[in-house]
Amino acid sequence: MATHTNKTLFQREVVIKALKQAFVKLNPRTLFRNPVMFTVEIGTAIMLGVCIWILLGEQSQGSFGYNFAIFLLLFVTLLFANFAEAIAEARGKAQADSLRKTREETPAILENGRQISSSALEKDMVFICKAGDIIAADGEIIEGLATIDESAITGESAPVIREAGGDKSSVTGGTKVLSDQIKVRVTAQPGESFLDKMIALVEGANRQKSPNEIALTILLAGFTLVFTLVIITLKPFADFANVAITIGALISLYVCLIPTTIGGLLSAIGIAGMDRALRANVITKSGKAVETAGDIDVLLLDKTGTITIGNRKATNFHAAHGIAKEQLVRAAVLSSLSDDTPEGKSIIELAEVDPADYRVDNPRFISFTAQTRSSGIDYDDIRIRKGAVDAIKNLCIQAGHSFPDEVAECVKAVAENGGTPLVVSQNEEVLGVIELQDVIKPGIQERFARLRKMGIKTVMVTGDNPMTAKYIATKAGVDDFIAEAKPEDKMNYIKAEQAEGRLVAMMGDGTNDAPALAQADVGVAMNSGTQAAKEAGNMVDLDNDPTKLIEVVEIGKQLLMTRGTLTTFSIANDVAKYFAIIPALFITTIPALQGLNIMNLHSPESAILSAVIFNAIVIPFLIPLALKGVAYKPIGASALLRRNLFIYGLGGIVVPFIGIKLIDLFVSLFM
């Protein structure tokens, strides 16, 4: 994909832009959205005022050098926090710039032969593309078939085939036609194309905070308010105990008490989560979608193309008793002449005939629908249908004809063998069965086992009869299945799971998947799918990989883990700062507090400076972790919690003790 050019975490151009933005973000109106860092900015401004006050002759606040050092450290803390957010945003903007290169003014040839600019194309206009042309706008192929190079969007060098009819008719502006000719109907207004939306998303211009992020921001704001009250009340207590505490010491204690580490990294974690999804070639419409993916309980997957390789092929014709095989083959071919699906085409291939030899007068083709679950052809006084077993059976029974027992046995045998039976009828009399076979994807069982370890229930969605569905589900290792699924069946299943408090994810590509994609908590639409599917989902998979949802789930869990672990670390490392600053404030007046100076720091001044320095430098050290994310392993929630509490909780307590002591040894050399 074009956006994958940014391989390294810190590219020179990206870092330079982020450094500039770190200063721009010092604007109080911008920083106000982050209550923790906003209060740090207020503290920095107060320290600047104290420094000026000392220069004007004030003697009670300590030396100018000491206070100016605190001011600089607080200012650097702000810059590091802003840089963390800016570097995440700059990486997204760099990807947006590379995407813009694929969106150039492209000429479009209309049906009447007139040439106009791609920017002048409006929704529902029709243009023609032939070999070598760049597709001018997002659209649906309404006529023709072509090989298309989508590497500018997906990064996949292998060309793909797009054709009118079915769920592979969608094309994206900026891709190139390599062969043949197609007629495309525009599906997006100027400025609202898929590429335009991608650019806006990766730039993060309209990034909304997710519910979890908002909740954590409120929690951090609460901590900040509590410690604000602590600092306000500390001064009267100090005066009562005849302890002289400078403004610089109070501000230093305050900044070290509040959770500045997670406050400075919070936005960067959320932006980086969307960035990781993009690097997996998944466009997300919000950070909320990525987070929700990390919490899902149920995953709905289409059988065809996801669990199985897809493009089921006809492998055999089974004629009913007393029916010649040639008669069944002829009816099957006639019913498939207008069938653009891979199954329909494979029927003609299996018959080894020339469709031109099967032309009839005044044909009326009957398209497949999810309701009738059959298709066919009417001509003269002949009606031919092929479709699902129960659909054709009901058709025959309603017309007063029986459903032959040997055909029912044949249907059962095909289904038990993992195949899909299509029954063919002529004038409501059964002619026989077409056997379709599909192949389960290699390695899919291991993927489902991995999801099971995450605590996610997998559900296979298929239009197959229950017997075939059960065979495939058992062989693939899914937990449940929906057979003979209609659009409303998928929606009802999702609603039922949601009613029990579960979060549901689904992947789809067809227009009939759109209602379920919209209902699901996480809806991933294929880039090759229909425009309706892409509009309904809250994610789009550029690779058209139906198993990508598994990767999205892991990215979501990684985002949640990263935020949780860094919050744990941030709160835990405050402990060491208490042992550094509290004794430093009161040790001269209350010698008994010497016992709390377990780090044996050099002096009160060096203790305060060491704590503030550590508080500042820990943010840039954690930026790579915030951007890359904490490594996720499917070992269960309780095991993950124990692991992260041990590493980041215990580590958050131990590391600051070591860090502050080392900094104190260095600082004491200059004091």
The CA distance from 397 to 322, in Å, is: 19
Q: Is 371 annotated as a binding residue?
A: yes
Average pLDDT over residues 155-170: 74
What are the tens digits of pLDDT across the range 62-89? 889 989 999 999 999 999 999 988 887 7
Fold category of 292-307+441-542 in CATH: Rossmann fold (3.40.50)
The total of other beta-carbon atoms located within 10 Å of residue 671's CB is 12
| Upper half-sphere CA count for residue 347 (Cβ side, 13 Å) | 30
Question: What rounded mean pLDDT belongs to the chain?
Answer: 83
- Does position 157 have pLDDT exceeding 70, yes or no? no
- Does position 104 have pLDDT exceeding 60, yes or no? no
Q: Is 180 annotated as a binding residue?
A: no
Q: Is 378 annotated as a binding residue?
A: no
Q: What confidence score (pLDDT) does residue 204 get?
A: 54
The two tokens of residue 241 are: 């105990």
Q: Is 545 annotated as a binding residue?
A: no
Q: How confident is the model at residue 5 (pLDDT cuts 50, 70, 90)?
A: very low
The total of other beta-carbon atoms located within 10 Å of residue 257's CB is 21
What are the tens digits of pLDDT across the range 608-659? 899 899 999 999 999 888 888 887 776 666 777 788 788 888 888 899 999 9
Q: How confident is the model at residue 3 (pLDDT cuts 50, 70, 90)?
A: very low
- Does position 167 have pLDDT exceeding 70, yes or no? no
Q: Is 372 annotated as a binding residue?
A: yes
Beta bridge partners of 459: 300, 480
The CA distance from 482 to 491, in Å, is: 11
Please indicate whether residue 310 or residue 606 has the higher confidence score (pLDDT): 606
Is 302 an active-site residue? yes
Q: How confident is the model at residue 205 (pLDDT cuts 50, 70, 90)?
A: very low
Query: In the chain, what percentage of residues exceed pLDDT 90?
Result: 22
Give me the count of residues in the chain: 671
The one-letter amino acid code at 648 reads Y
- Does position 42 have pLDDT exceeding 60, yes or no? yes
Average pLDDT over residues 91-112: 69
What are the tens digits of pLDDT across the range 289-336? 888 888 889 999 877 767 776 667 888 999 999 999 999 999 999 999
- Does position 203 have pLDDT exceeding 70, yes or no? no
Question: Residue written as tokens 């410690």?
Answer: 227
Question: Can you tell me whether residue 485 is helix, strand or coil?
Answer: coil
What are the tens digits of pLDDT across the range 342-365? 788 889 989 988 888 888 888 999
Q: Is 373 annotated as a binding residue?
A: yes
List Cβ neighbours of 70 (8 Å cut-off, separation of 6 or more).
47, 248, 251, 252, 608, 609, 612
H or E segment at 504? strand 504-508
Residue among 167, 302, 574, 664 flagged as catalytic: 302
Q: Is 149 annotated as a binding residue?
A: no
The total of other beta-carbon atoms located within 10 Å of residue 131's CB is 12
Question: Please, are residues 555 and 280 in contact by the beta-carbon 8 Å criterion?
Answer: yes
CATH number of the domain located at residue range(s) 122-189 in this protein: 2.70.150.10
List Cβ neighbours of 214 (8 Å cut-off, separation of 6 or more).
none
Please indicate whether residue 183 or residue 273 has the higher confidence score (pLDDT): 183
Tell me whether residue 668 is exposed, middle or buried, using C-beta atoms within 10 angstroms of its C-beta: 0 to 12, 13 to 18, 19 or more.
middle
Q: What confidence score (pLDDT) does residue 43 get?
A: 93
Among 460, 414, 456, 166, residue whose Cα is nearest residue 307: 460
Average pLDDT over residues 113-136: 87
Domain-wise residue ranges, the chain:
30-94+202-279+553-668, 122-189, 292-307+441-542, 312-437
Average pLDDT over residues 376-394: 92
Q: Is 368 annotated as a binding residue?
A: yes
Q: Is 118 annotated as a binding residue?
A: no
Tell me whether residue 354 is exposed, middle or buried, using C-beta atoms within 10 angstroms of its C-beta: 0 to 12, 13 to 18, 19 or more.
exposed
402: left (phi over 0), alpha (psi -120 to 50) or beta: beta
Query: In the chain, what percentage of residues exceed pLDDT 70?
Result: 89
- DSSP characters for 346-389? HHHHHHT--GGGG--SS-EEE---TTT-EEEEEETTEEEEEE-H
Question: Please, are residues 195 and 172 in contact by the beta-carbon 8 Å criterion?
Answer: yes
The CA distance from 423 to 431, in Å, is: 8
Among 1, 27, 542, 560, residue whose Cα is nearest residue 266: 560
This prediction's pTM: 0.65
Average pLDDT over residues 427-431: 93
Q: How confident is the model at residue 559 (pLDDT cuts 50, 70, 90)?
A: confident
Q: Is 386 annotated as a binding residue?
A: yes
Distances (CA, A) of 280 to 40, 306, 533: 36, 17, 20
What are the tens digits of pLDDT across the range 207-250? 566 677 788 888 888 888 988 898 888 888 888 878 778 898 88
Q: What confidence score (pLDDT) does residue 317 get?
A: 94
The CA distance from 618 to 124, in Å, is: 55
- Does position 1 have pLDDT exceeding 50, yes or no? no
- The superfamily (CATH) of domain 312-437 is Calcium-transporting ATPase, cytoplasmic domain N (3.40.1110.10)
Q: Is 509 annotated as a binding residue?
A: yes
Beta bridge partners of 369: none
b (16+ CB within 10 A) / e for 400-410: eeebbeebbeb
Among 248, 260, 258, residue whose Cα is nearest residue 77: 260
Question: Please, are residues 507 and 301 in contact by the beta-carbon 8 Å criterion?
Answer: yes
